[in-house]
Amino acid sequence: RSEGKKEIDGKSAFYLYDTFGFPLELTVELAQEENLTVDEEGFAAAMEEQKQKAREGQNFSQKITTAAGVFDGLDDKIISEFVGYDALTAEGKVVALATETELVNTLKIGETGTLITDVTPFYATMGGQKGDFGVIRTENGTFEVTETMKIAGGRIGHVGKVVSGTVTVGDKAELAVDTDNRKSVCKNHSATHLLQKALQIVLGDHVEQQGSYQDGARTRFDFSHGQAVTAEELAKVEALVNEKIAEDIAVVTDVMNIEDAKKSGAMALFGEKYGDTVRVVSMGDFSKELCGGTHVKHTGEIGYFKILSESGVAAGVRRIEALTGANVMAYYQAMEENFNKAAAAAKAAPAALTEKIQHMQAELKALNAENESLKAKMAQSALGNVMDQAVEVKGTKLLATSVDGVDMNGLRDLGDQLKDKLGEGVVVLLSAQDGKVNMIAMATDGAVKAGAHAGNLIKGIAALVGGGGGGRPNMAQAGGKNPAGIPAAIAEASKVLEGQLA
C-alpha cells in the first residue's frame, strides 16, 4: 500500500504460505480488510513452480519410488519381510531389479538401480528415520546400498549401485547393514523420544511433534510452541534428557493392537494413520510412544545429548537440532580446538581468554573514541573558517559547503557545530569519501518556521551527486555516487531553499 499498489502479488502470497504457513484464504481475508486484493492465479503459478523445482531436484531413489508403473509388473506375492529390528545381517533372494524407468533382469557393474529381496534387515526411510545403507553380496556381484526406501505393495527397495560383477534376479544374497551408522541412528531416534517428553515437562503439555528426522549424524525435532525457547529452558531440557540417559533405562518394545496401545497412554502423532497392530516403545515411566523405528536397548547407549540450535520454521512451530554419542564428543573436541586457536590469536592462556577479550574490548573502545575525536578535529581543520561563506536567502542564513573524507557521523557533528555558530538558518554539508558522497542538511527552528525543510532540500539536490535521500524538516541526510556533482549540488542548495521560503 505504501508503494501505491492495490493488489498483493502471487509470489508474495506464496511466500507467506511457504515460509510462515499462512493459508491463501487467510491472506485474502486480511487483504480484504485493508481494501486490497490478492493475485490468486499468481499464487497458483508460484505453487506449481515450487513443485516443479522439487520434482527436478529429486534424487534417483525418490524417482524410483514415485515413478508410476516401474514396479506395476511385479507379482502381488512378491513382498519384503523386514527382520531388521533383531538383526543387522540376513540371507535372502533377489526377487526384483529396476532401473529408474523399467524392471530389468540384471544390473551390471557401474549401473545404478533398485534391488528388492524377499528378506531384508535394511530399515526403509519412514517416520522421520533415515533408511539404512550397507552392502548386498551375491555369488556374482556386489551391490552397494546408499538408501533404503518403502515401495508400494509391501516392498522395501535397496537403492544403490553395482560395484563389482553382476546382480541378477533369483540370486541368493547376503545382506549387511552398516552397523556403525545404524547404531548412531538408533541413538538419535531414542534421544528424540526423550527430547519430546522433556519439552512437554519444561514447556507444557501443548508441545506436540510436528515432524522429525534422524540419520547417523544428528537428530532434528519440530514441535508446536508459540515462541522461541529461552536459553534457560533449553538448558533444562538438555539436562533432563541427559539425566534419563544416565539412568540407563531399558527401552522396551511391545507389539499390540491400536486400541490397547491408546489405553496404555502411548503418545501418537496427530493426523498419522496407524494399522490395527502397532509397536509401542517405552522408556520406563518417562516416555511411551507409538513408533515403528529402531532404537537402542538401554538409554545409556545414547551416551550424551547436546542441543545445537533452536529456531522457528513456521508459524507456531519450532525446531531443535541435536547430537548424541560420539558426535557430541567430536563437537566438543572441535570447540576446544577453536577455543585454543582463539586463545593463541589473542596471545592469552586459554583460562585467561575471557579476561583478555574484556581487556581488548576496553582498549578498542578507547581507541575508537580517540579515533573519532581525531577525525572530528581533522574535519574541522579541513573545513577551516567557513562562516564567511554563509549567505542570506530571503532573510534566512544558508551555509552550504563541502569537506573531503568525512563520514556521515562526522558530518552530523560538524553540522551541529556550524548550526550553533550560525545561530538561526540552514546548514548543508557534502563530503566525498571513497568514491561516494555523504550529505546532510540541518535547519534551526526559526528556519523551519520560515518554510525551510531539510528533507525536501536534500531531495532537491541529491540527484546532482547521483543519489537520493530525505528526512525531517530539521534534519536530513543522503548518499550519492558522483563526487563530481558536489559543486553543482552546493550551488543548487540556495535555489531549492529560496523556493521553500515565503
Q: Which residue did the predictor score with more confidence, 367 or 372?
A: 367
Give yes or no: residues 214 and 292 share one domain. yes
Beta bridge partners of 157: 149
Instruction: Say whether pLDDT at 61 is over 60.
Output: no
Instruction: Say whether pLDDT at 401 is over 50.
Output: yes
Q: What is the pLDDT of residue 65?
A: 47
Give yes or no: residues 249 and 223 share one domain. yes
Percentage, residues of the chain above pLDDT 70: 92
Q: Is residue 196 part of a domain?
A: yes
Q: What is the pLDDT of residue 55?
A: 55
Cβ contacts of 8 within 8 Å, gap of 6 or more: 27, 31, 36, 37, 38, 39
Q: What is the pLDDT of residue 169?
A: 94
Q: Which residue did the predictor score with more confidence, 127 or 110?
A: 110
Q: Average pLDDT in the 28-55 region?
A: 80
Residue 13 — very low, low, confident or very high, per pLDDT cuts 50/70/90?
A: confident
Domain holding 259: CATH number? 3.30.980.10
User: SS3 sequence, 21-35?
Assistant: CCCHHHHHHHHHHCC
Residue 467 is classified by DSSP as -
The pTM (predicted TM-score) of the whole model is 0.66
Kindly report the length of the chain: 502
Give yes or no: residues 146 and 199 share one domain. no
Instruction: Say whether pLDDT at 466 is over 60.
Output: yes
Give yes or no: residues 316 and 200 share one domain. yes
Residue 101 — very low, low, confident or very high, per pLDDT cuts 50/70/90?
A: confident
Give yes or no: residues 50 and 154 share one domain. no
Query: Could you report the per-residue pLDDT of 70-96, keeping only the tens digit for each?
Result: 777 788 888 999 999 999 999 999 999
Give yes or no: residues 166 and 190 share one domain. no
Domain holding 434: CATH number? 3.10.310.40
The residue among 126, 154, 177 that closes a domain is 177
Domain holding 99: CATH number? 2.40.30.130
Cβ contacts of 455 within 8 Å, gap of 6 or more: 441, 470, 471, 472, 473, 476
Give yes or no: residues 188 and 308 share one domain. yes
Residue 359 — very low, low, confident or very high, per pLDDT cuts 50/70/90?
A: very high
Give yes or no: residues 162 and 194 share one domain. no
Q: What is the pLDDT of residue 54?
A: 61
Give yes or no: residues 157 and 193 share one domain. no
Residue 296 grid coordinates: 537402542
Query: Could you report the per-residue pLDDT of 469-490, keeping only the tens digit for each?
Result: 778 999 999 989 999 999 999 9
Instruction: Say whether pLDDT at 100 is over 90.
Output: no
Q: What is the pLDDT of residue 69?
A: 57
Q: What is the pLDDT of residue 182?
A: 96
Q: Is residue 67 part of a domain?
A: no
Number of structural domains in the chain? 5
Q: Which of 36-40, 64-68, 440-444, 482-486 has the weakest average pLDDT?
A: 64-68
Q: Is residue 116 part of a domain?
A: yes
Q: What is the pLDDT of residue 267?
A: 76
Query: Could you report the per-residue pLDDT of 138-177, keeping only the tens digit for each?
Result: 999 999 999 999 988 889 999 999 999 999 999 999 999 9
Percentage, residues of the chain above pLDDT 90: 62
Q: Is residue 76 part of a domain?
A: no
Give yes or no: residues 228 and 314 share one domain. yes
Q: Is residue 134 part of a domain?
A: yes
Alpha-carbon gap, residue 106 to 266, rounded angstroms: 45
Q: Average pLDDT in the 305-319 region?
A: 91
Q: What is the pLDDT of residue 53?
A: 67
Q: Which helix (H) or strand (E) holds 449?
A: helix 445-449
Residue 387 — very low, low, confident or very high, per pLDDT cuts 50/70/90?
A: confident
Cell 509397536 belongs to which residue? 279
Q: Average pLDDT in the 263-284 region?
A: 78
Nearest to 193 by CA among 317, 322, 316, 312: 322
Q: What is the pLDDT of residue 264?
A: 82
Instruction: Say whether pLDDT at 372 is over 90.
Output: no
Beta bridge partners of 390: none
Q: What is the pLDDT of residue 424?
A: 92
Instruction: Say whether pLDDT at 272 is over 70.
Output: no
Give yes or no: residues 126 and 48 share one domain. no
Cβ atoms of 383 and 401 within 8 Å: the answer is yes
Residue 66 — very low, low, confident or very high, per pLDDT cuts 50/70/90?
A: very low
Give yes or no: residues 101 and 190 share one domain. no
Q: What is the pLDDT of residue 29?
A: 78
Q: What's the domain range around 90?
A: 81-177
